[in-house]
Amino acid sequence: MENGNDRPLKLRVLRAVPVLLVLGLLVHFLLPRIDTIENSLKTLRTMAPWAIGLSFTMEALSYVANGALLRSIVAMAGDRISWRRAAAIEIGAGSVALVAAGALGFGAAIYRWARSGGVSADAALLASWLPSVFDAAALIVFALISGVELILVHQLSRLTVIALVIVVSLLTIVIVTAIVLLARNDWMRALSKNVSRIVKRFRPHWDNSGLTAAVESAAETWKEMRHGGWLRPASCSLMQVAFDLLCLRYAFLAAGHSLHLTLLLAGYGVPLLLGRASFLPGGIAVVEVAMIALYGGLGVPASIAVVAVLTYRLISFWIPALVGIPIAVTLHSSKPA
Confidence of residue 254 (pLDDT cuts 50, 70, 90): very high
The pTM score is: 0.77
Sequence ranges of the domains in the chain: 35-79+122-322
Write out pLDDT tens, residues 101-117: 566 778 888 988 998 88
What's the whole-number mean pLDDT along residues 28-57? 71
Residue range 257-302, pLDDT digits in tens: 999 888 898 889 888 887 877 767 778 878 888 888 888 888 888 8
Reply yes or no on whether the pLDDT at 12 is more than 60.
no
Long-range contacts of the stretch 275-282 (C-beta < 8 A, 24+): 276/136, 276/139, 276/167, 277/167, 277/170, 277/171, 281/97, 281/98, 281/99, 281/102, 282/94, 282/97, 282/98, 282/317, 282/321
**Alpha helices in the chain, H assignment, sequence order:** 13-30, 37-45, 49-76, 83-99, 102-116, 121-127, 130-152, 158-183, 185-202, 209-224, 231-254, 261-266, 269-277, 286-297, 302-313, 319-333
pLDDT value at 251 more than 90: yes
Dist CA 283 CA 207 (whole Å)? 36
Q: Which amino acid does the sequence have at 214?
A: A
Per-residue pLDDT for 215 more than 80?
Answer: no
pLDDT at 3 over 60: no
According to the model, what pLDDT value does residue 21 have? 46
pLDDT of amino acid 15? 44
Contact 82, 67 (CB under 8 A): no
Are the beta carbons of 287 and 273 closer than 8 angstroms?
no
For the cut 80, the answer to whether the pLDDT of residue 37 exceeds it is no
Per-residue pLDDT reduced to its tens digit, 294-331:
888 888 888 898 899 999 999 999 999 999 999 998 88
Angle (CA) 104-95-9 rounded to 5° is 55
Distance from first CA to last CA of the chain, Å, rounded? 15
- Within 8 A by CB and 6+ apart from 180, the residues are 187
The CA radius of gyration of the chain, in Å to the nearest whole number, is 21
Assess contact for 192 and 215: CB atoms under 8 A.
yes
The Cα 212–Cα 188 span in angstroms is 10
